[in-house]
Copies of this chain bind each other. A is one copy, B any other.
């Protein structure tokens, strides 16, 4: 970026007029063929409209009743100190600083704070990005608890097609915890990284006319090669979740979207959602879920409350336990000291027991059982990686836990 970034108010998608009018004027259009849906500030419109840009599949759900509300009128004035900052910031200021699109803060089961911005509202199915992975991880832990999936088994035992790929001899647990060692870089600022090739393969970006690479998620996975020994360290690679998706699909005999519907959406009473699909109709478990913020919060509440009879105890324990902090990538995540990644969830190992589903550009589900706290937040921060908002968001979640229990 050469120009200074617009702030949250200046980049409000309604103010900017993206896709407003019939038709929107040419300079206010958001077009897939130009990759506009990845260009800030057009992202602030696109993240709430992804199924209008790409093919998707329905996650069948229920007509859910609203969560209870017990709004804390003054919570927006709550002050906290961002990382590496000296000045205090309020919750309301933090929402703008993180380009929040919507937030629900729940304490002991009731919504105590609720805000909406731009084109995002209660019925919007906003893209969850990599929070989707935590749903996949939860499905995996359910199957493990039911004895249907062996975390010690090798990937190739479930998906023989991956035997010759870098994933073939990794264990299911290594895939779940992203400690596989494969040649796939996830640098959102490098168009030649693994995630860039992947995005083209699955249709999230247009391909050049002379493109001859893989054309679907699973075809792409077969091209990923080994790069070192599995199990030695956590390295964040979305491709792990697509491998997990393939495994889950084989074990359960149904697509990720149908599994979400049958195992989570219907029993938890969540409203219908969408999952983006690749050209073969495969749901993008690595980041394609689009759902209502309140349904994200309900899912978090179910986990905070111990599974509500839908998610087995053993699965809840695995999620709450987290991964191995010794394997974490401390260099890449300076705002997450002592954290781990396990079962496709991020764990703080903090005194509030806080763990998190996280997606690029600020998507967050924060569950802190010891504080009785569940926070669901959609955002469209201009920086993809957590480094853009973690220095504000992480201390804010922790401060909210303290304040609401004071």
**9-residue interface stretch from A48-56, A109-117, A127-135:** A48-56
Q: Is A279 an interface residue (CB 8 A)?
A: yes
Chain B residues lying within 8 Å of A123, measured Cβ to Cβ, are: 60
State which of B29, B51, B249 has its C-beta within 8 Å of the C-beta of A280.
B29
Q: Is A23 an interface residue (CB 8 A)?
A: yes
Contact call A280/B56, Cβ cutoff below 8 A: no
Q: Is A68 an interface residue (CB 8 A)?
A: no
Q: Is A7 an interface residue (CB 8 A)?
A: no
Chain B residues lying within 8 Å of A22, measured Cβ to Cβ, are: 218, 246, 249-250, 255, 282
Chain B residues lying within 8 Å of A280, measured Cβ to Cβ, are: 19, 23-24, 29, 31
Chain B: CB-nearest residue to A51? B56
Q: Is A154 an interface residue (CB 8 A)?
A: no
State which of B53, B63, B125, B279 has its C-beta within 8 Å of the C-beta of A31.
B279
Chain B: CB-nearest residue to A30? B281
Shortest CB–CB separation between residue A241 and chain B, in angstroms? 15
| Given contact pairs A22-B250, A29-B280, A58 touches B63 in the complex (Cβ within 8 A) | no
Chain B: CB-nearest residue to A261? B123
Chain B: CB-nearest residue to A52? B281
Chain A residues with a Cβ closer than 8 Å to the other chain, count: 38
Q: Is A295 an interface residue (CB 8 A)?
A: no
Question: Would you give the 0/1 interface string for A1-40, flagging 1 where the beta carbon is closer than 8 Å to chain B?
Answer: 0000000000000000001001110000101110000000
A112 to B250 CA separation, bound complex (whole angstroms): 40
Chain B residues lying within 8 Å of A141, measured Cβ to Cβ, are: none
A216 to B209 CA separation, bound complex (whole angstroms): 21
Chain B residues lying within 8 Å of A54, measured Cβ to Cβ, are: 55
Chain B residues lying within 8 Å of A31, measured Cβ to Cβ, are: 279-280
Q: Is A277 an interface residue (CB 8 A)?
A: yes
Q: Is A272 an interface residue (CB 8 A)?
A: yes
Q: Is A226 an interface residue (CB 8 A)?
A: no
Chain B: CB-nearest residue to A210? B209
Q: Is A57 an interface residue (CB 8 A)?
A: yes
Question: Would you give the 0/1 interface string for A256-274, flagging 1 where the beta carbon is closer than 8 Å to chain B?
Answer: 0000000000000000101
CB-CB contacts below 8 Å: A278-308 with B: 279-282
Chain B: CB-nearest residue to A250? B22
A215 to B31 CA separation, bound complex (whole angstroms): 10
Q: Is A62 an interface residue (CB 8 A)?
A: yes
Contact call B62/A63, Cβ cutoff below 8 A: yes
Chain B residues lying within 8 Å of A33, measured Cβ to Cβ, are: 215, 279
Chain B residues lying within 8 Å of A277, measured Cβ to Cβ, are: 52
Contact call B32/A279, Cβ cutoff below 8 A: yes
CB-CB contacts below 8 Å: A230-264 with B: 246, 249-250, 255
State which of B24, B58, B125 has its C-beta within 8 Å of the C-beta of A51.
B58
* Seed contacts A22-B246, A22-B255, A272-B272; 20 additional CB < 8 Å A-B pairs: A19-B280, A22-B218, A22-B249, A23-B216, A23-B218, A23-B219, A32-B279, A33-B215, A49-B281, A51-B51, A51-B55, A51-B56, A51-B57, A51-B58, A52-B57, A52-B281, A53-B281, A55-B56, A56-B56, A58-B274
- State the 8 A-B residue pairs at the shortest beta-carbon distance, nearest first: A63-B63, A22-B249, A209-B209, A52-B281, A23-B218, A52-B57, A52-B55, A52-B277
A residues apposed to B, CB below 8 Å? 19, 22-24, 29, 31-33, 49, 51-58, 60, 62-63, 123, 125, 209, 215-216, 218-219, 246, 249-250, 255, 272, 274, 277, 279-282
21 A–B pairs (Cβ distance < 8 Å), ordered by A: A19-B280, A22-B218, A22-B282, A23-B216, A23-B280, A23-B282, A24-B280, A31-B280, A32-B55, A32-B279, A33-B215, A51-B51, A51-B56, A51-B57, A51-B58, A52-B56, A52-B277, A53-B281, A54-B55, A58-B125, A272-B272
